[in-house]
Amino acid sequence: MPKIHRAALAAGFAITTAATTAAVHAADQGFYVGLGTGQMVTADYVTPGASALFDEKSTPWRGFVGYRLGLIPILDFALEGGYRSFGTAKATVGGVASEYKTSGFDGALLAIFPLLGFDLFGKAGVLRYDLDRNWGGNTSSFNGTAPMYGVGAGFRVWRVGVRVEYERFEVDQLKGLDGAMVSATFRF
């Protein structure tokens, strides 16, 4: 195939991809709602300064609303807020029965890279949390604000979407709180 034909073919493909991406992207602007679940891991030292590590899984859920801005075709942004329960993580560690319950409201900014019906995104935001920690029958309650961040990917058809994401929360009273979520979304 002559070089001129290859160049014309490549240019045609690039224009078609850009036009399709722009059309799909333009249709995504607006409000959406979602509901998700997954698996979170809560990590902590059972007593301050101790070496016994609590590192247990729980089943969280999250409900959220968002608004996708639809600013430019190759990079989009969304504002998102919701409520989540991280579930109950419990185990006996170092002879101490331990249980953690965390929940709260969150808000985040998503940077989205749309490509032909798929989205890759990063997110950063804040979690306003309530944490109940029970060590051997002694319960302590904490609340505060923690930074959150994550990455994910999504797929959508018409107004319905599915996304998978990894999130991490920097809660002061814990060694770690992170996990993966799968969510269904509906765009208005």
> Tens-of-pLDDT digits for all 188 residues of the chain?
566 666 656 655 555 555 444 444 445 789 999 999 999 999 998 766 667 789 999 999 999 999 999 888 789 999 999 999 999 999 988 788 999 999 999 999 999 999 888 999 999 999 999 999 998 899 999 999 999 999 999 999 989 999 999 999 999 999 999 999 999 999 99
**Rounded CA separation 123/81 (Å):** 12
β-bridge mates for residue 84, sequence order: 62, 104
Domain residue limits at 71: 3-187
**Rounded CA separation 108/122 (Å):** 10
User: Closest by alpha carbon to 149, among 126, 130, 129?
Assistant: 126
User: Closest by alpha carbon to 66, among 92, 91, 96, 31?
Assistant: 31
User: Closest by alpha carbon to 54, among 11, 88, 28?
Assistant: 88
Secondary element (H or E) of residue 77 = strand 76-93
Q: Is the dihedral of CA 170, 79, 150, 35 positive or negative?
A: positive
Neighbour count for residue 138 (Cβ, 10 Å): 8
* The total number of structural domains that make up the chain: 1
CATH number for the domain including 24?
2.40.160.20
Whole-structure pTM value? 0.82
